[in-house]
Structure 1
Amino acid sequence: MTITVTGASGHLGHRVIKALLKLTIDDNIRAGVHNPEKLAAFQKLGVQAVQLDYFNNASMDLAFNGTDVLVYIPSKTYNVLKRVAELESVLTAAKKAAVSQIIFVSFFADQETNPFTMSPFYGYAPRRLAGFGIPYAVVKNSLFADPLVPYLPELIERQALIYPVDDQKLAFITQTDSAEAIAQLAVKPELRGHGETYLLSQEEAFDMPTLGALMTDVTGHPIGYQPVSTKAFADIYRSEGDGDELSSMYRAGEMGLMAATSKDFQKLTGHAPETMAAFLKRSYQPEN
């Protein structure tokens, strides 16, 4: 069996490769890597490593050849049309290579009323897969908890979370847990291939005062909740290149669309996901 993971050099993709190494032999794993300079790192792990450009037919032909399970992790872009074109390119190459099954790694902001910039893509992709003719399963991640850790120094300085979500809750999952669940799905044929959808989340979603109190306990610094408007949030982070996009995501949170949780992680892995408290305590390193 060959499991090909796209986006393998990204934060999530790399973790999926490492999780797969715990579940199957390295000869079964193929890492699709966009940057050829990163191929050597995967070859040292013992897995197959190939250059993969979503818009280069030859590279996809090589990467997908002989693939039984394709774990498709979309590239990180806020251009909806480019992301849709990427999906179409992947599907065309997968069909040409006679890929047996696809695991599409998605995001839970796919509701019809969701204003998040990328929501149209996450709504389109499973509908496209449903009629494409290759057996598939969809894994929907909730918000990744990992970016909260490097954000903590700023929150300590502000003494408050500022997400514009009012009194609504947000659901999270760690990238390591997401990767473990995806890897388990890839090696368990009985759990995929019939249009299944799995929502990966921690068992509890958090309103912002509760999340701030948890961060206070972990850091020893007071972190409350002082929400700004979605416009103000976009203005604050626009210089980082994604202020408007993040603002649209938290607008969805304010509408109560980013709070869903499930037991799917436990169904896939056999154990509960890491709690937010345990993750923050394990990950936070105070600055000297």
Structure 2
Amino acid sequence: MIVITGASGQLGRLVIEALLQTVPAGEIVAAVRNPEKIADLAARGVQVRVADYDQPASLAAAFAGADKLLLISANEVGRRVPQHRAVIEAATAAGVGLLAYTSILHADSSPLPLAAEHQETEALIRASGLPAVILRNGWYTENYLAGIPTALQYGVVLGSAGAGRIASAARTDYAAAAAAVLTRDDQAGHIYELAGDESYTLAELAAEIAKQSGQAVNYQNLPESEFKAALLGAGLPDFLVTLLAESDVGASKGGLFDDSRQLSQLIGRSTTSLANMVAAQLAATAA
């Protein structure tokens, strides 16, 4: 039995879809706070169990009988460590045979402030003694593609990444990696640094958008404070503004780059190209 936490989220759903290609639905557990959000998966035979990171009792029931468990990192930055600790303790009590955790690229040396909670979680996992595999996910290409409509409107991509190279990949690529380790033997002890096969600067991203759209789009590099102000002016919430700005600055220091190609090796295919993802986003924007 394979349990996926955060199963109603964007990554969780994709992991379950990937697992369903080779694993019987009845052997997959979607652990979520709100079961109604994944009624469609329940209708396909996936087990649905209530699991709230803030309610340890719910985790014990959700993990009962689990052979393998994927801990998708919580989305509440600043509260992740106690939430992840609750999951790790419940997994230990349930006797889970393998814990997989979605960490951050080069968690042990990353310049991104976002890495701190992942470092603490990885330490908790090591201390637990649970057989574990760490999936150090790089940046999602979707994080930048969401800004394409604004880039087209104003003719500019804003950021604070300088000339830092970003080796991002699609969520589907990272989901395929998670499914791969959950369906293979002898994964305990592995740490995977997962990133896209190709890398780009934000200036190159702007150039790709311009090339495919036929519109003039340039990259404007800003100091972190000015980039934050621009994001706030666009209506983004404070927590997301801080995350995006700090991540861009981290990218300028090499924090989002990796050229080991461990992701494509793990999933047995090339990662989704930036050009293809820009094309898909432009098509969706035009629809």
TM-score (norm 1): 0.92
Change beyond 3 A, Cα 1:259–1:10: same
Structure 2: how far apart are the matches of 1:198 and 1:110? 11
Structure 2: how far apart are the matches of 1:283 and 1:164? 22
CA contact (8 A) 1:19 1:179 kept: yes
Equivalent residue for 2:52?
Answer: 53
CA contact (8 A) 2:18 2:179 kept: yes
Equivalent residue for 1:249?
Answer: 247
Equivalent residue for 1:174?
Answer: 170
Counterparts of residues 24-39 of structure 1 (less than 5 Å): 24-39=23-38
Q: Within the alignment, does 1:114 sit opposite 2:111 as a pair?
A: yes
Q: In the TM superposition, what is the alpha-carbon distance from 1:30 to its structure 2 partner? A: 0.5
Number of residues of Structure 1 aligned to a counterpart in Structure 2: 282
Equivalent residue for 1:146?
Answer: 142
Q: Within the alignment, does 1:89 sit opposite 2:86 as a pair?
A: yes
Equivalent residue for 1:193?
Answer: 188
Q: Within the alignment, does 1:219 sit opposite 2:213 as a pair?
A: yes
CA contact (8 A) 2:165 2:254 kept: yes
Structure 1 range deviating more: 83-92 or 270-279: 270-279
2:97 to 96, 100, 109: 100
Equivalent residue for 2:19?
Answer: 20
Q: In the TM superposition, what is the alpha-carbon distance from 1:113 to its structure 2 partner? A: 6.0
1:272 to 242, 248, 270: 270
Structure 2: how far apart are the matches of 1:249 and 1:111? 16
Equivalent residue for 2:201?
Answer: 207
Q: In the TM superposition, what is the alpha-carbon distance from 1:14 to its structure 2 partner? A: 0.5
Change beyond 3 A, Cα 1:142–1:62: same
Q: In the TM superposition, what is the alpha-carbon distance from 1:197 to its structure 2 partner? A: 1.2
Q: In the TM superposition, what is the alpha-carbon distance from 1:246 to its structure 2 partner? A: 1.8
Q: In the TM superposition, what is the alpha-carbon distance from 1:163 to its structure 2 partner? A: 1.2
CA contact (8 A) 1:236 1:243 kept: no
Structure 1: how far apart are the matches of 2:109 and 2:76? 20
Q: CA RMSD in A?
A: 1.6
Moved over 4 A (4+): none
Equivalent residue for 2:157?
Answer: 161
Q: In the TM superposition, what is the alpha-carbon distance from 1:160 to its structure 2 partner? A: 2.0
Gaps in structure 2 of 5+ consecutive residues: none
Q: Within the alignment, does 1:236 sit opposite 2:230 as a pair?
A: yes
Q: In the TM superposition, what is the alpha-carbon distance from 1:112 to its structure 2 partner? A: 4.3
Secondary structure in 2 matching 1:189? coil
Change beyond 3 A, Cα 1:185–1:129: same
Q: Which amino acid aligns with 1:96?
A: A
Secondary structure in 2 matching 1:172? coil
Secondary structure in 1 matching 2:163? coil
Structure 2: how far apart are the matches of 1:167 and 1:255? 9
CA contact (8 A) 2:195 2:257 kept: no
Change beyond 3 A, Cα 1:150–1:249: closer
Structure 2: how far apart are the matches of 1:127 and 1:218? 44
Could you report, residue by residue, the CA deviation over 1:57-85 in whole angstroms, capped at 9, with x for unpaired residues? 22111110011110000221221xx2100
CA contact (8 A) 2:107 2:136 kept: no
CA contact (8 A) 1:109 1:122 kept: no
Q: In the TM superposition, what is the alpha-carbon distance from 1:48 to its structure 2 partner? A: 0.5
